């Protein structure tokens, strides 16, 4: 059997600026009670001045490299997961690579929203298993606060998203029994418009116009059919987690820790109930960060590694569902 890939180091970074539910209720018609009841979110972080996802990502990446004991010169590829690239093009992974002083190694973005981190993990694992790389840096970074409609019109989406970044260094596992067991990726593009950001759009002439910022449903802000997304999420999460377990001859009872994407605390509670899992095994930090899409899993994983919930020998599942629709799982023997 070829060497297994493992997470050798992890890092995270969020802006200092805390935005509470009460802060939001001062700029739109919402309340702390509504947001907490429907989502479990108490606060999130928003950048207070210009700062790209790759600026946060670089902080997280340096921490991940230091904790792995791996130098940037030993990194053979950089994968950056985001739905909020710093600029339209080139890929933000290039900007990140420059900030980190990387060699001229491959660097590319993965644009798969809430599943982006797991798609990136799977891509990095494939590079490592194919012998194309020994160490890969995978970073999820998002700046939502500059792209949401912070008025009552945009409240359904605006209250759930936050800014942040998380990074991991992947490399050969020190123990062949431990590390990444498998990854499972899915997409169903026919639901793309249920959760999307339509403008600016290269298929439109012009790509963006003043009307995209006005009206009842402006195309320059994310649009979401919240209940529709919710229903698919609570079906696809248990499905893909079961798929990952079955692929390895394991069962839900074997699972020690579940780290789901942080979109809504209620979704994660539904998932635990559907799997008949003890909720204490599910890692949640959405109360403090909101939904940071591609950054949410590494942010939660970093916390769980630091506080010992994720520790040697444990069976750990990472799982995500989001825009696309896309969904995914990764199973680790830690
Ligand atoms: O990471 C990407 C994946 N995203 C998700 O997984 C999100 C999945 N969906 C959800 O988490 C939930 O659908 C939301 C949290 C977005 C919304 O919760 P909901 O229980 O589905 O509420 P709703 O959209 O059905 O809205 C209920 C009411 C509506 O008012 P009426 O029509 O009943 O008078 C909304 O206008 O709540 C209203 N509302 C709000 N009220 C206060 C919507 N947003 C807000 C708000 N504050 N922020």
CATH of the domain at 160: 3.40.47.10
Give the phi and the psi of residue 83 in degrees, each rounded to 5: -110, 0
pLDDT at 67: 98
d(CA 107, CA 75) in angstroms, rounded, equals 11
Listed in sequence order, the residues at least 6 apart from 15 whose beta carbon sits closer than 8 Å to its beta carbon are 45, 46, 47, 48, 51, 56, 163, 164
Same domain, 165 and 186: no
- Give the pLDDT confidence of 140-177 residue by residue, as tens digits: 999 999 999 999 999 999 999 999 999 999 999 989 89
Same domain, 157 and 218: no
Residue 216 has pLDDT above 90, yes or no: no
pLDDT at 2: 65
Same domain, 141 and 258: no
Show the domain range for 245.
179-333
- Tokens, residue 39: 């989502």
User: Between these two residues, 3 and 303, which has the higher pLDDT value?
Assistant: 303
Ligand 1 pocket, residues with Cβ under 6 angstroms: 30, 34, 38-39, 114, 155-156, 159-160, 226-227, 229-230, 233, 263-264, 267, 291, 293, 322-323
> Which of 144, 172, 200 is at the close of a domain?
172
Average pLDDT, rounded, for the chain: 97
* Residue range 61-84: mean pLDDT, rounded: 98
* Residue range 93-120: mean pLDDT, rounded: 98
> Which positions are annotated as active-site residues?
114, 261, 291
pLDDT at 174: 86
d(CA 66, CA 62) in angstroms, rounded, equals 6
40, HSE (Cβ side, Cα atoms, 13 Å): 16
Same domain, 58 and 152: yes
* Residue range 283-291: mean pLDDT, rounded: 98
- Give the pLDDT confidence of 318-331 residue by residue, as tens digits: 999 999 999 999 99
Same domain, 127 and 200: no
Residue 42 has pLDDT above 90, yes or no: yes
């Amino acid at each position: 059997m070829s060497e297994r890939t493992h997470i050798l180091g992890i890092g995270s970074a969020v802006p200092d600026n805390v935005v509470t539910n009460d802060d939001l209720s001062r700029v739109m018609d919402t309340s702390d009670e509504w947001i907490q009841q429907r989502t479990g979110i108490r606060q999130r972080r928003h950048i207070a001045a210009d700062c790209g996802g790759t600026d946060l990502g670089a902080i997280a990446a340096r921490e991940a490299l230091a904790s792995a004991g791996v130098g940037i010169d030993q990194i053979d590829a950089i994968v950056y997961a985001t739905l909020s690239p710093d600029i339209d093009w080139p890929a933000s992974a290039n900007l990140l690579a420059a900030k980190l002083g990387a060699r001229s190694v491959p660097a590319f973005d993965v644009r798969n929203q809430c599943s982006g981190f797991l798609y990136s993990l799977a891509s990095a694992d494939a590079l490592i298993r194919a012998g194309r790389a020994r160490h890969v840096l995978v970073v999820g970074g998002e700046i939502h606060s500059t792209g949401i409609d912070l008025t009552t019109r945009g409240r359904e989406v605006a209250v759930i998203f936050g800014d942040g970044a998380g990074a991991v260094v992947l490399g050969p596992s020190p123990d062949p029994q431990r590390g990444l067991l498998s990854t499972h990726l899915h997409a169903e593009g026919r639901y793309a418009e249920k959760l999307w950001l339509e403008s600016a759009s290269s298929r439109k002439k012009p790509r963006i116009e003043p009307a995209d910022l006005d009206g009842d449903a402006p195309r320059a802000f994310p649009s979401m059919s919240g209940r529709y997304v919710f229903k698919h999420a609570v079906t696809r999460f248990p499905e893909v987690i079961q798929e990952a377990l079955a692929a390895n001859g394991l069962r839900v009872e074997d699972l020690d820790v579940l780290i789901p994407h942080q979109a809504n605390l209620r979704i994660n509670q539904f998932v635990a109930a559907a799997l008949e899992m003890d909720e204490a095994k599910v890692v949640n930090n959405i109360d403090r960060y909101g939904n940071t899409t591609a950054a949410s899993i590494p942010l939660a994983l970093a916390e769980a590694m630091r506080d010992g919930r994720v520790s040697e020998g444990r069976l750990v599942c990472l799982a995500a569902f989001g825009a696309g629709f896309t969904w995914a799982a990764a199973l680790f023997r830690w």
